[in-house]
């Protein structure tokens, strides 16, 4: 009875759906998090009568066939890259990107990581680093004698030094964009790695064509909409229950067959 395996694929699909939704809800407060959405495809079909097949020796053909689907499968889990809200903080080294782009970070492995999490601080050497202590590219060092630090929308880091009227430029934050953001590989810690699917990173200063601007003293919050996620969770739960009822009904039908004499 095909309905048993078909309903089982439906339960597995909804289980994946709930796992994606639960991860979204769990990261409701994660800085720069982008919610995910599971996508599904129907499985291969079995032809009982193929449409267009010859139905008689006189050459008549079937106007429509008879196909039985074999269920559903997960085709992809997409990352929704819409802008999260900007939340003001008390840290002058925090940065948020308003628009497209990712901060570039040197990972311990030597690879370049990409993140929307602009929760930055200074290392013991005065270098701009992430909350994990990873260097923010291109490597900007704030002098220990700096009295004030300003980061403008173009990513220029300007410091006020003693006995100087004008601000000194000590570096400029560079952003990266990708032809296919969905192809980035999430490795945890709010970090992504480039893949052949994402394409190579295109780098430029904030505010250039196609690149967002940097806002000092802000962070980007998660773009998860909790009301939408709870609604999706309830829908997935009901779909899971209905697929389980199909299995129960199919089992009862098989039991009826075994009782025939």
Nearest to 95 by CA among 136, 62, 53: 136
pLDDT of residue 69: 86
Confidence grade of residue 47 (pLDDT, cut at 50, 70, 90): confident
Containing domain of residue 186, as a range? 86-220
Identify whether residues 67 and 22 lie together within a single domain: yes
Q: Is the Cβ–Cβ distance between 135 and 105 less than 8 Å?
A: yes
Q: Is the Cβ–Cβ distance between 136 and 128 less than 8 Å?
A: yes
pLDDT of residue 257: 84
Q: What is the pTM of this model?
A: 0.85
Identify whether residues 36 and 91 lie together within a single domain: no
Which pLDDT tens digit goes with each residue over 146-204?
889 999 999 999 998 888 888 889 999 999 999 999 999 999 999 999 999 999 999 99
Average pLDDT over residues 10-39: 95
As a three-state string, the secondary structure of 183-202 is HCEEEECCEEECCCCCCCCE
Identify whether residues 160 and 213 lie together within a single domain: yes
pLDDT of residue 28: 94
Confidence grade of residue 123 (pLDDT, cut at 50, 70, 90): very high
Identify whether residues 173 and 98 lie together within a single domain: yes
Q: Is the Cβ–Cβ distance between 69 and 6 less than 8 Å?
A: yes
pLDDT of residue 151: 93
Identify whether residues 127 and 145 lie together within a single domain: yes
Query: Is the per-residue pLDDT at 62 higher than 80?
Result: no
Q: Which residues neighbour 239 within 8 Å (Cβ) at sequence distance 6 or greater?
A: 10, 14, 17
């Amino acid at each position: 009875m095909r309905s048993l395996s078909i309903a089982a694929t439906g339960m597995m699909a909804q289980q994946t759906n709930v796992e994606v939704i639960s991860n979204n809800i769990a990261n409701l407060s994660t800085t720069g998090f982008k919610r995910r959405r599971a996508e599904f495809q129907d499985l291969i079909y079995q032809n009982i009568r193929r449409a267009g097949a010859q139905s008689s020796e006189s050459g008549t053909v079937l106007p429509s066939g008879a196909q039985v689907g074999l269920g559903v499968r997960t085709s992809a889990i997409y990352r929704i890259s819409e802008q999260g809200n900007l939340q003001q903080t008390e840290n002058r080294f925090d940065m948020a990107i308003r628009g497209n782009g990712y901060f570039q970070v040197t990972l311990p492995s030597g690879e370049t990581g990409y993140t929307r999490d602009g929760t930055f601080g200074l290392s013991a050497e005065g270098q701009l680093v992430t909350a994990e202590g990873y260097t923010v590219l291109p490597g900007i060092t704030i002098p220990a004698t700096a009295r004030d630090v300003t980061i403008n929308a173009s990513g220029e880091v300007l410091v006020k030094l003693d006995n100087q009227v004008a601000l000194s430029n000590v570096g400029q934050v560079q952003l990266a964009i990708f032809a296919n953001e969905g192809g980035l590989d999430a490795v945890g810690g709010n970090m992504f790695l480039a893949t052949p699917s994402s394409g190579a990173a295109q780098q430029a200063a904030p505010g250039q064509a196609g690149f967002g601007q940097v806002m000092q003293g802000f962070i980007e919050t998660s773009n998860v909409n909790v009301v939408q996620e709870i609604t999706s969770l309830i829908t997935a739960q009901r779909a899971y229950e209905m697929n389980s009822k199909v299995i129960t009904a199919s089992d009862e039908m098989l039991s009826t067959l075994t009782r025939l004499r």
